[in-house]
Structure 1
């Protein structure tokens, strides 16, 4: 009897394990049809580039090493091969191949890829799934979104279906097709890990983060949803080893298509510009400004003679809504502004001095090289901190006429001198600090490697500290 019971239990457990495995298999997606239908529109891209290098100590690298060098150069600004981590230049002019991926967006031969895949190329080769090969014409590039539009002379080509990236949700299945390390038409799958990611190297693109395996050669390839629609272009990865570590980033399809239309018509992309420097809001900042919770984009500086200044924006304003879009994180604002056109008037909800207020902002075309913005970024890097004007309410509470408040300590001189987020600077080098403008002027005249007095107010208590500027 006991033997029969044991046999019955073993059989029951076996059946349960079988049906559990079967149920799990049923829940997993089958990508075979998607891959068969989408692969013909995915292409392999290689480039030729002439190099004028004359070092006698150089040596020719293998194609695999060259490809990995391109990867390191794009993501890290360095090359791992050669002495000191640098590639030795070749003694004479030579051709080098850069491998990447792309996909066809129109039957008459328009192809999308990443800008870094074709950057600096003299000749661009596009190879189709059926092994036909074409030399492509570069229609236009947009380095800010890392996109490039190519054209090949062919007709009746297979194309991808573009999807709506705004409908993506974290946890959804996605699939990539590309040529990692030159292995054509490699398929990898995973899920959407997060949406609207802002990377330190780029505050304009709200990247889709996935755990899809992406490696050198996948750049420029499509990211598909389960309906077989392209929802992004694989562009970057986060890595400490040079290889895939489970964190990949794709450019959203909706942003891609808005860029493509301008590249087709003009060969370049024109964007609207607001002229503010912004930062995210944490719990402490939200409490200090009287917000119920962290939300919006805090304006740390309004650039002179900018659309923001002319429209009445002030440092210390918190942008809560831009047009019809709620701004939860500061990273969302550049993308929304960039999607507008010069001359557009946008109703903007801000939070100022404890109250909500609506402004109408009139946007300008973004300058090709906004020099003042560059100067401000250099100034922040030199100081190791970012500051904003002290609001009238805060100045009244501290019983002072003006000053600047440290909104973020980035390191460098600020960290070395013991400054903290929230410190209010009222005097520097024996000169009164009234606002960001006067502070910037004083900073420009500071001597290097010599301590000067700085008066700060911390937690309501004033103190002097020696501040030394080092390069």
Structure 2
């Protein structure tokens, strides 16, 4: 084993051993059983991108040479598409990652970076079957992609309904070397961010795979691109843990909140509306003075796309809640009297005095905070304090980061966020406040200089 691999090996070994002990202590199912039960639901994702290769004049047509093709297969995993003497060869560049099944009808979660800009996507199942996949939707900021394969009888992983800081978790991948264990350090679940932070070691062997609790339920997706301070890892929450955003369940309440109802298009309506086919969602009613009515949506409009994602039937409108939670607005492509139009749904932001963006703690200190959990307090050995969930200047200029714990403000133990808010309210330009910061093994006082 390479010397650099030893620390990672021992870290995973210790984490896995700790998880086994925790599972035994909590009388949970055997971890080996969880791994075995989950194996059939974890898949390999293969993305192919077509790239034209420019060759010098004297080498054109070389890809048709049988000797060249034999050696290219031996030493290169890319697939060569033979070209004529006058055309540049096309190389299918391969990218491979992990994924997992979250719905029996073929809904699969994987990393966005695995499939971005791919011309073809295939999913290899546990039994070595290869199925062509299409992209349902993506969330690049969370490195998340949702795929669909044409199969209605796949083994899906159960989705967790609750989450606890300090909970033991297990990260898996299609590769047997992808098993890694650890604990949940914190959760970040706001209007725009649905993530949790763990100390689990994530690499290419388990990136794109599921993060499971000791019941074998999916908490989140792994990504080797989502890093957090202090060597921690961020994970995108999946399914039932995201408020009103189950990835494969209908969301009629979301439509009611937006102020419209819709249905699938039957053959009769297709003829009456003079449609080329029966794809799309048919708008049946609009609530007066609703978001839908203010956007310009009308009865008998046919919704055919959300942003760039095609709407085949009303189940595809499930993503409306996701789009609006992430961006507060979404563009809908519609057909109205045979003419294609684009309208925008925008959810107005309420003037909430308790919104962190409206607090002096954010405006003057540049900090958004949350109370520390019991598990975090035990780890840091404190009875009070807060954790930074978002930072900007002047806090960032002082060296503070997301994930830092603040235990003391101006020689006073921090017992609540309200306490910091009251101090921040009276600050003026030129003032300095001192906070006691804990970041891993580092514990120190930091001064925040208040500016205009």
TM-score (norm 2): 0.46
TM-score (norm 1): 0.44
- Structure with greater Cα Rg: 1
